[in-house]
């Protein structure tokens, strides 16, 4: 009937049971992340090949993807990496793209209550969109109020390593790979996000910030040149979430 993966690990007192639980949960995270990992590979190769076309060396891109761990901002940097370089614009756009991590981190902090900072900060470093979404969905599914650390690490480590390895491979083998966009492989990441959004769907009202961000970014993209649609989309989503929060507070 029940397996150790369904137990509340806070109730496990035996060190052997605890170790077995952690190992099983880690590999459950790896298993759950495998479909997402397959979606990462073509998109990572596209980023690698695109970065070389923009003037990056393969080891420079590897350093970027290892220290940044945020694919959206990396694509933004590569797309804006043109002569002459506009460093303030690149920094501003990358910061705006990554600003979603402020809201993600605030949500994630609810699962990290009581955890020492020296343990929480490394976990936050590998918090990408997919590991964040899967960890929260897993906590909700099993009724947990604390982060299932082994499960989260299984997801995060696999996905982060996949991204680093295949972006580097895409850059290193760029002359042999060519332009992967002609095969539609750049749509892989979009498909991954659609799957994640489906898993996090909590009704139309909860999805209004997503819709506002989409509409704002799409409208700006068609009206103005440059990467300003990133800023507009981010601000539209944050503003919608903020005002929705105020409405809920007033009703309560």
128 and 218 belong to one structural domain: no
Query: Domain for residue 47, yes or no?
Result: yes
Of 162, 185, 200, the position where a domain reaches its end is 200
Per-residue pLDDT for 250 more than 60? no
- The encoded tokens of residue 201 equal 């769907």
Same domain for 175 and 214, yes or no, is: no
Q: Which one, of 59, 98, 67, 64, lies nearest residue 78 by Cα?
A: 64
Residue 3 confidence (pLDDT) = 40
Residue 139: inside a domain, yes or no?
yes
Over residues 151-161, the mean pLDDT reads 96
Is 50 exceeded by the pLDDT of residue 4? no
In terms of domains, do 153 and 222 share one?
no
Residues 182 and 246 in one domain: no
- Percent of the chain past pLDDT 70, that is, above it, reads 79
Q: Are residues 103 and 222 in the same domain?
A: no
**Backbone φ, ψ for residue 226 (5° rounding):** 90, -170
Confidence (pLDDT) at 186: 54
pLDDT the model gives residue 226: 67
Same domain, yes or no: 191 and 216: no
Do both 223 and 159 map to the same domain?
A: no
Backbone angles phi, psi at 180, to 5 degrees: -75, -15
User: Which of 29-43, 116-130, 165-179, 225-239 bottoms out in mean pLDDT, i.e. has the lowest?
Assistant: 225-239
Q: Do 235 and 191 fall within a single domain?
A: no
Residue 4 lies inside a defined structural domain of this protein: no
206 and 142 housed in the same domain: no
User: Are residues 32 and 20 part of one domain?
Assistant: yes
Say whether pLDDT at 197 is over 70. no
Domain boundary (172, 200, 228) is at 200
Q: How many domains does the chain have?
A: 2
Does residue 172 register a pLDDT over 50? yes
Rounded CA separation 197/179 (Å): 28
Q: Is residue 28 located within the same domain as residue 128?
A: yes
Q: What is the mean pLDDT of the chain?
A: 80
At 10-52, the pLDDT tens digits run: 445 567 778 888 899 999 999 999 988 988 888 888 888 888 8
pLDDT at 178 over 90: no
pLDDT at 195: 57
pTM of the model: 0.72
Q: pLDDT at residue 1 above 50?
A: no
Is there a single domain that holds both residue 79 and residue 106?
A: yes
For the residues of the chain, what is the DSSP string, one character each? Answer: ---GGGS-GGG--SHHHHHHHHHHHHHHHHHHHHHHHHHHHHHHHHHHHHHHHHT--HHHHHHHHHHH--HHHHHHHHHH--SSP-HHHHHHHHHHHHTHHHHHHHHHHTTSTT--HHHHHHHHHT--HHHHHHHHHHHHHTT-SS--HHHHHHHHHHHHHHHHHHHHHHHHTHHHH--GGGGTGGGHHHHHHHHHHHHH---TGGGHHHHHHHHHHHHHHHHSSSSHHHHHHHHHHHHHHHHHHHHHHHH-
Which residue range forms the structural domain that includes residue 220? 201-251
Q: What is the largest CA-CA distance in the chain?
A: 64
- Residue 6 falls inside a structural domain: no
Quote the pLDDT of residue 26. Answer: 96
Residue 7 placed within a domain: no
The pLDDT, as a whole number, for residue 84 is 81
pLDDT digits (tens, 9 = 90+) for 130-148: 899 899 999 988 888 899 9
Classify residue 101: in a domain, yes or no: yes
Q: What is the mean pLDDT of residues 104-122?
A: 90
Q: Does residue 2 sit within a domain?
A: no
In a domain, 244, yes or no: yes
């Amino acid at each position: 009937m029940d397996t150790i993966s369904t137990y509340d690990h806070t109730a496990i007192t035996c060190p052997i049971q605890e170790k077995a639980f952690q190992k099983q949960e880690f590999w459950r995270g790896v298993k759950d992340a495998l479909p997402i990992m397959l979606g990462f590979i073509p998109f990572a190769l596209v980023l690698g090949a695109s970065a070389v076309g923009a003037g990056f060396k393969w080891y420079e891109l590897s350093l970027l993807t290892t220290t940044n761990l945020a694919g959206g901002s990396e694509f933004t940097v590569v797309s804006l990496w043109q002569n002459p370089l506009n460093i303030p614009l690149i920094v501003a756009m990358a910061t705006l793209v990554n600003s979603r991590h402020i809201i993600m981190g605030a949500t994630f902090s609810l699962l990290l209550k009581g955890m020492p900072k020296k343990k929480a900060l490394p976990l936050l470093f590998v918090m990408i969109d997919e590991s964040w979404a899967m960890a929260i969905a897993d906590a909700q599914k099993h009724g947990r109020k604390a982060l299932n650390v082994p499960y989260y690490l299984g997801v995060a480590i696999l996905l982060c390593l996949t991204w680093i390895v295949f972006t580097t491979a895409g850059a290193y083998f760029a002359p042999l790979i060519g332009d992967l966009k002609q095969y539609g492989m750049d749509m892989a990441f979009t498909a991954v996000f659609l799957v994640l959004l489906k898993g996090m769907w909590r009704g139309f009202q909860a999805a209004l910030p997503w819709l506002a961000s989409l509409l704002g970014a799409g409208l700006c993209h068609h009206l103005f040149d440059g990467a300003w649609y990133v800023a507009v989309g981010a601000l539209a989503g944050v503003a919608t979430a903020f005002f929705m929060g105020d409405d809920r507070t007033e009703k309560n």
